Amino acid sequence: MSCEIKKIQKYLEKVNLTFAPSSTIIVCSDSKGRYIRPHIPPQYRQIVQWHVKSGRTTEEGIRYLEREIPNFSRHHGQIVILFWHGTCDVTKKIGPHIYLKHKKEADATDYWHPKYSRLVEILSSYPTIKLAILEIPPISTKIWNKMHGHDSWEIIDDEEVNKQVHLHNEIVQEVNASLNFNFISPKVQNGLLKSNKRKSYSKEKKKALY
């Protein structure tokens, strides 16, 4: 297990120990959640629920929660929601390759601020639910596109991509501070992906990374 996966595991364990057994932890995530789920200790698996969909954007994740929150609230009572999207807002996937979605940082800012404000507003109607948003790891479009046979992979600027990752994470920090959630989101680096890439270059693994 990479040290990056361990960071997420320790974070979940701290949240679990603080709020369990009175609260259910729900992780709403894009494919990043797939990497973490197999490494959660067995004693926590009944308490941590995973709602994961590859390629899901922040907007799609919010719509999913808006639709499912009434059911969650009825069945679980006290809930801690860990919202972990954003990667698929920075990049867009065309065929097997990924590209920068927002050409300007201002466009990215204008995208995320209203999205997270809306998420907070939706959940404010449920006093038994706590929310925390997780930061996203750096992205290498060069590595991804090279793995998937892009002829011009070297011209894609990862620095510009990760400026937007940093911007997203700054917005997440602001939102979490406003929610008074006691745990700081773990700083996950790109080792989260590297640990999976080393295992296999099969189609199944390549597909799962996005």
> How far from the centroid of its chain's Cα atoms is residue 75's Cα?
24
| Model confidence band, residue 114 (pLDDT cutoffs 50, 70, 90) | very high
Mean predicted lDDT score pLDDT of the chain = 79
| pLDDT tens for each residue of 147-179 | 766 665 545 677 778 888 999 999 999 999 998
| pLDDT number for residue 95 | 72
| pLDDT number for residue 110 | 86
| pLDDT number for residue 204 | 37
Q: Compute CA distances 22 → 47, 54, 123, whole Å.
A: 10, 30, 19
| pLDDT number for residue 200 | 38
Virtual torsion, Cα 179, 121, 173, 169, nearest 10 deg: 160
| pLDDT tens for each residue of 120-134 | 999 999 999 999 999
Query: Could you tell me which residue, 98 or 116, shows the higher pLDDT?
Result: 116
| Model confidence band, residue 2 (pLDDT cutoffs 50, 70, 90) | low
Q: How many other C-beta atoms can be found within 10 angstroms of the C-beta atom of residue 113? A: 13
pTM: 0.82
| pLDDT tens for each residue of 4-43 | 677 887 888 788 777 767 788 999 999 888 888 887 777 7
Residue type, 150: H
Which of 194, 191, 195, 97 has the alpha carbon at shortest distance from 146? Answer: 97
Name the token pair of 153. Answer: 């992979």
Task: Answer yes or no: is pLDDT of 60 > 90.
Answer: yes
Query: Could you tell me which residue, 50 or 1, shows the higher pLDDT?
Result: 50
Give percent of the chain with pLDDT exceeding 70: 78
